[in-house]
A and B are shown apart, each in its own frame.
Chain A
């Protein structure tokens, strides 16, 4: 078993100077390429004992007697691998700012208010078909100290495990039609516009709940795995 090579021309490069923090935090030496070993082909497993029911509902999972303010949405999709196979029972974690663009983090000093009923994180396991869903509030844009007047588009951070440590991925989901996407140096750290497109979740009216909440769809693709030649079995792995 091995992993498909990561296409590092598709991912953002380590050094993307318009994203200023990357300048001092990017290695200058070439990475050592390594055909995955047991350390990368294995990875942690999570079960239903690890998470509590309702942790994928950010509208209620930190509510202090009321509802959070903002646009109620469902974010859902499937986790697949590059072979289009679903990745079942894998941990998906998200975090985000509130409707005003403020994070519940002691280091966030932005003047937009904290929402007393909104924590901003959730987690779930994919089902046997690789499907996951969260209910949340659409996050607001927020300013950050990069260029003088940089604003992050509305985004949700997404962390996915897959079944091996070499598949580990953190990314950000953006929202269809957001005009800030085209201006963001973090988005534009990705060189290929098709790759940026893969991070933009389309509005999904079919999954919206009438008179309740809208929906966005975000499918996530993890690295594929294949058998190495001598491991091939007729029934496949």
Chain B
């Protein structure tokens, strides 16, 4: 077998913003910082806002996290060229409060999968980026194949945001009683 091994992961460390969000790190270097563009006006779909925090095992907000979001468009289709609605965002929390805000559009359902955002978290102390999903409290999630894979029904709630009418809250718990379900994809 002539396979290669995947390059091992390492933590993104405390200064991940220098590379992936330099404006947040405090300096201006790129003409166009990737992942922070607002959804262009012509893109169809309901505008939504998601706020939240990433919380560690001691209950403290993780203020140095960087989250990437990947999602389908309003019709449930994933972009396959840079010209489409890209469907990809970077989110950095406020360094004082740890609260992040994402402005996007509500994704459509994709096949049997209920509408969701895919999230990937990196930070100091996280050795391999963590994958999870956010589902919507006001959507029909009953038949979603991923939620239904979760053996303990109460843990499914960790993937469902709270809120309504396009304003949602989604806290991600890295550890502890309310620990979010993370995906080994």
Spell out A's residues near B (CB within 8 Å). 3-4, 6-8, 10-14, 16, 19-29, 31-34, 36-40, 42-47, 49-52, 55, 61-62, 80-84, 91, 93-95, 103-108, 119-121, 123, 157, 159, 165-166, 168-172, 186-187, 189-190, 194-196, 198-199, 220-224
4 closest A-B pairs by CB: A95-B19, A21-B125, A25-B125, A44-B88
Give the secondary structure class of A's interface. Answer: loop
List A contacts of B34 (CB < 8 A). Answer: 46, 50, 91, 123
List A contacts of B184 (CB < 8 A). Answer: 6, 8, 31-34
Q: Report how far A22 CA is from B128 CA in the complex, Å.
A: 11
* B183 and A31 within 8 A (CB): yes
Q: Report how far A71 CA is from B9 CA in the complex, Å.
A: 26
Task: Tell me, yes or no, whether B111 is within 8 Å of chain A by CB.
Answer: yes
Task: Tell me, yes or no, whether B14 is within 8 Å of chain A by CB.
Answer: yes
Q: A27-B182, A37-B146, A105-B17 are in contact. Are A11 and B127 (CB under 8 A)?
A: yes
A-B contact pairs, 16 of them (CB 8 A): A26-B126, A27-B182, A28-B176, A34-B184, A38-B110, A38-B113, A45-B80, A46-B82, A47-B81, A51-B30, A62-B27, A82-B4, A104-B18, A121-B19, A186-B11, A195-B5
List A contacts of B32 (CB < 8 A). Answer: 50-52
Task: Tell me, yes or no, whether B75 is within 8 Å of chain A by CB.
Answer: no
* B79 and A45 within 8 A (CB): yes
* B82 and A24 within 8 A (CB): no
Size of interface on B: residues with Cβ below 8 Å to A: 78
List B contacts of A81 (CB < 8 A). Answer: 4
* B129 and A34 within 8 A (CB): no
Would you give the shortest CB distance from B127 to chain A, in whole angstroms?
Answer: 4
Q: Which of B64, B79, B179 contacts A27, CB < 8 Å?
A: B179
Q: Indicate with 1 or 0, residue by residue over B25-59, a CB within 8 angstroms of chain A CB atoms.
A: 11101111010000000000000000000001110
Q: A34-B183, A44-B87, A103-B15 are in contact. Are A24 and B125 (CB under 8 A)?
A: yes
Q: Report how far A52 CA is from B129 CA in the complex, Å.
A: 27
Q: Report how far A34 CA is from B30 CA in the complex, Å.
A: 37
Q: Looking across the interface, which residue of chain B has its beta carbon closest to that of A43? A: B70
Q: Which of A19, A24, A83, A84 contacts B174, CB < 8 Å?
A: A24
List A contacts of B74 (CB < 8 A). Answer: none
Within 8 A of A (CB), among B91-112: 95, 110-111
* A6 and B6 within 8 A (CB): yes
Q: A39-B116, A45-B82 are in contact. Are A25 and B8 (CB under 8 A)?
A: no
Task: Tell me, yes or no, whether B150 is within 8 Å of chain A by CB.
Answer: yes
Q: Looking across the interface, which residue of chain A has its beta carbon closest to that of B25? A: A105
Q: Report how far A36 CA is from B70 CA in the complex, Å.
A: 14
* A7 and B22 within 8 A (CB): no
